[in-house]
Chain A
């Protein structure tokens, strides 16, 4: 069975199409965009070799997907070999970090922000650029909004050279740097189209002392829905913060882990967000969320197993399905309970197609089929904080 998000049925493996920096940079390089000299390291033992290759001083960049790596201390600069090895050791000690990218330190004259993204309202691609790069675009938007250069690209026309020139004029680039900038932006747009990307971002694009424009960082998000016609990037443990999240993802079950008390099995993003809000509203907390809708509604045992692994004090199941039949879910849950024998209370509000039959099945195994989401949430919260349900 394919995953909830892939939907294409062409590949069995689950994919994660938001690329790591080193993957984005590989694609930049293949497509003629300059990147710094760099070396990717998976084992700490290879750090010395990487330092030899890129030279000193060097920058050591944790390959994680979270933003704000610099502020979080996940990017370090080292002047000496000893310093670099020590810093690499510390970074590898972080449980989120599994790979490091060693790079040469560039002599920077100017840091530029350059991105191609989607404007869903106009349905155009949107070029965003700023001569004040190196910080998040959100921060740029607050600090120097007047310096953001925008160019809309019509879907059926694509990015034309005059538009790329306008962006580079807007950034104040001149001479050789201007020409390189135009060429880089056109290549970024080509990648955006060719790869079904949602975002192609270079921040910063560094203008070096010797007049080269180099992509010092890279973000590339490819649309998961286009995985069927793109190179597929299989999920790896690096993509997830916890083992359970990773193992669930391998099986195509969206699962998020938190540190609260209610294990939530819910169908659909809207309903999930609502139940999550209601749990907070009534003073409860969430241990985990698992997507029980879509193709997963027939996989109650696996779903229940993942949900129980983060040791919730109560399991709350809320659905209101059309295609996902309530009776199938209820029977699945009944079977899962028999098999897994959970020692925590289970609260159910399973509604929609087949709900009457579902109610009968649940009553038979001693569960009360609730019809109101808020009642169910209130009960679960009360149980989770030790009250009477």
Chain B
């Protein structure tokens, strides 16, 4: 079926009256997402795309039985908004904002871990199950990327996601659920934490991981596979093999730090546990066929 979003999911949009919030609410509804309510302090009583707006999450949850929330709030207010959602009992949150302070992200992740909630992001497009639902900002109308299928995708990047996912579509596959964990140095959910979800999902036959230099998320995936947490075929692409040392290309999550997080180290760890690692995006489709045939 899918992960993260399922038939029970009832989505709240925090920051629904803003330009991003209302624009993407329209598209989330357009894809079929059950958006049941929105929150913007002081705007209760309004409607956005037919969706009722509330002053706070607590009331929205009481009235709509929302159990998931996607945030379209500026990065400086992300912490407040996530904690408001968690306090109201929401267990699944997507933070799209780019630029959440890292100390805020640490508090969010710490709280989510102890409360057994799942917070995705920040700095992410979110989560999408093609032809079904999404929480976030995906151009699902681009058919050569967002075709429904049976491959789970997890990614740290935005633009690269489209690029690489298009390659498995070209090879005849489709996407069960795509999760962007975000490009920040402290993502609130890490790749390895998604593996049990994909493992248990009947609708997912294999996983494509789109990684990058820096950090240790890809190494953690290799470790989890080694421990038997994930047993389905795994294909990976990791960007930044030839990245100049210590030069920052784009977001914070991709800084190459000496000795740790090198692409060579990631590839070695992944191949050791049987994952197939593509050397170019165009090789991903062929490797997925190979992985599925094994």
Complex contact A269–B250 (CB within 8 A): yes
> Majority SS of interface residues in chain B?
loop
Q: How many of chain B's residues touch chain A, expressed as a range?
A: 35 or more
Which of A39-47, A52-60, A117-125, A305-313 faces chain B? Answer: A117-125
Closest to A374 in B: B282
Closest to A125 in B: B106
The answer to whether A210 has its CB under 8 Å from any CB of chain B is no
Q: What's the least CB distance linking B175 to chain A, in Å?
A: 15
The answer to whether B163 has its CB under 8 Å from any CB of chain A is yes
Q: How far is the CA of A9 from the CA of B258 in the complex (A)?
A: 33
The answer to whether A323 has its CB under 8 Å from any CB of chain B is yes
Chain B, 52-77, contact with A by CB distance < 8 Å: what is the 0/1 string? 00000000000000000000001110
The answer to whether A320 has its CB under 8 Å from any CB of chain B is yes
Which of B30-38, B226-234, B241-249, B265-273 faces chain A? Answer: B241-249
Say yes or no: A7-B99 contact (C-beta < 8 A), given A123-B106, A320-B162.
yes
Which of B8-16, B86-94, B211-219, B285-293 faces chain A? Answer: B211-219
Q: Which of B75, B138, B156, B243 contacts A7 (CB 8 A)?
A: B75
Q: What's the least CB distance linking A159 to chain B, in Å?
A: 14
Complex contact A226–B102 (CB within 8 A): yes
> Majority SS of interface residues in chain A?
mixed
- Residues of chain A within 8 A (CB-CB) of B110 are 123-124, 154-156
The answer to whether B121 has its CB under 8 Å from any CB of chain A is no
Q: Which of B99, B125, B187, B282 contacts A6 (CB 8 A)?
A: B99
Closest to A141 in B: B259
The answer to whether A169 has its CB under 8 Å from any CB of chain B is no
Q: Which of A136, A256, A321 contacts B247 (CB 8 A)?
A: A256
Q: How far is the CA of A191 from the CA of B281 in the complex (A)?
A: 43
Complex contact B139–A272 (CB within 8 A): no
Q: How far is the CA of A291 from the CA of B97 in the complex (A)?
A: 19
- Residue in A9, A123, A291, A352 with the greatest tally of chain B CB atoms within 10 Å: A123
The answer to whether A223 has its CB under 8 Å from any CB of chain B is yes
The answer to whether A30 has its CB under 8 Å from any CB of chain B is no
Q: Which of A261-283 contact B (CB under 8 A)?
A: 267-274, 276-278, 280-281
Q: Which 5 A-B pairs have the closest CB atoms?
A: A269-B250, A270-B157, A270-B160, A7-B99, A268-B159
Extra inter-chain contacts (6) besides given A118-B186, A271-B160, A352-B159, CB under 8 Å: A224-B252, A225-B100, A273-B160, A273-B239, A277-B240, A289-B249
